[in-house]
Amino acid sequence: MRNISQPIDRFLNTWSDKSDILPDALKMVSYEGKVLALPYSITSQGDVIDKDLFIDSGVPIPTTWDEVLMAATRTRRINPDGTIQVYGWATRFNSTANFHQLEMFMNMLGTTMVEANAKKAQINNDYGRRALTFFREAVEAGAPNTLATVSNSMFKENRIAMYSAMQSNQIDSLGDREQLNLDYIPCVGPTPDRSGAMVNGGALILSTNSKHPELAWQVMVAFMERQTLKSHVLAHGAALPVRMSLFNDYDLHASQWATSLFSVLRPPLYKVDTYHPYNSEFRAGVGSQIYQAIRGEIPIGEALVQAEAHVNQVLADLMGKD
């Protein structure tokens, strides 16, 4: 984004509706103190809870990582042949999703895999170890001794007690929320105050090649007008608007999940991916190490060492070694 868009601060700071934009949405499109785009929509990833399974197990909804591990152990059900009847905790198993989750877990601990302008990663440390250890322990607590991948359809069979980092654009596929007694909450953090959703979204950019930036800004502002933005969201349905004055709009709360989706958009919110401009270059390699570690295929320490080495090599190649 930083090479194709120009900062919009000179326009944004004089726009009367700037205060109506979700602050975290503006933070997601900022780099080196400058705003590089105008966000218009936001999607989230939160935890889906099967409340009936928690009630049946006599377990309260967890609010900390320790409680997640306890709840996953107590809500899971294992068949006599060792197969999993009910997963106490589940998530997606792929390198990209697992990279995002580890970055979120490290954010919850107050750090990141790599700072925005850094030439070195900071993964192989106590924070990375704690985050990846929790990730691995949650997988093991929710479904011990299995590498099976769960599917959203299993919610209809009451076979998943807690699903971590469910994408908001997928939850309509889970079934009737009220009938299944499901809830959507912020991703549980190490402590209650660090729980929060992962977020991403759409944004409008002012191209570095624009010959008429003032006119382009006027077009962007016109799109952001409340009724226009509302109509866009209603037409596309997969995301929510970043204008906070629309958060209580009656029409936008028509779907069965809307109220919960809006409710998780409160601090802290965690950006999908790091803020580093070369994030996409090292994400797959790091994600592969995380994927193997949470499935118990390699030790946590080895995964952290290899992940950090991979980032450092990528950054050395792209940014220079000095």
Q: Is residue 76 assigned to a domain?
A: no
Total Cβ atoms within 10 A of residue 312: 18
Which pLDDT belongs to residue 238? 72
Q: Is residue 33 assigned to a domain?
A: yes
Q: Is residue 16 assigned to a domain?
A: yes
Asked if 206 and 8 count as a contact pair (C-beta separation under 8 A), the reply is yes
Q: What is the pLDDT of residues 104-124, one digit of tens each?
A: 999 999 999 999 989 999 999
Q: Is residue 245 assigned to a domain?
A: yes
Q: What is the mean pLDDT of residues 9-21?
A: 97
Q: Is residue 82 assigned to a domain?
A: no
CATH number of the domain residue 250 falls in: 3.40.190.10
Give the tokens for residue 11: 């326009």
Q: What is the pLDDT of residues 60-118, one digit of tens each?
A: 999 999 999 999 999 999 999 888 999 999 998 899 999 999 999 999 999 999 999 89
Which pLDDT belongs to residue 306? 98
Asked if 5 and 36 count as a contact pair (C-beta separation under 8 A), the reply is yes
Q: Is residue 241 assigned to a domain?
A: yes
Whose CA is closest to 166, among 270, 61, 90?
Answer: 90
Give the tokens for residue 278: 């070369």
Q: CA-to-CA distance for 271 and 128, rounded, in angstroms? A: 17
Q: Is residue 4 assigned to a domain?
A: no
Which pLDDT belongs to residue 147? 63
Q: What is the pLDDT of residues 290-315, one digit of tens each?
A: 999 998 999 999 999 999 999 999 99
Q: CA-to-CA distance for 52 and 131, rounded, in angstroms? A: 29
Q: What's the domain range around 245?
A: 9-41+203-271
Q: Is residue 114 assigned to a domain?
A: no
DSSP 220-268: HHHHTSHHHHHHHHHHH-SSEESBGGGTT-TGGG-STTHHHHHHT-SSS
Q: What is the pLDDT of residues 155-170, one digit of tens each?
A: 999 999 999 999 998 8
Q: CA-to-CA distance for 307 and 121, rounded, in angstroms? A: 9
Taking CB atoms within 8 Å and a gap of at least 24, the contacts of 212-215 are 213/6, 213/11, 214/11
Which pLDDT belongs to residue 309? 98
- Point out the least confidently predicted range of 24-38, 170-184, 265-279: 170-184
State the total domains in the chain.
1
pLDDT band at residue 175 using 50, 70 and 90 as cut-offs? confident
List C-alpha distances in Å: 207 to 18, 40, 51, 144, 281.
Answer: 20, 17, 47, 50, 23
- Rounded to the nearest integer, the mean pLDDT of the chain is 94
322 pLDDT more than 50? no
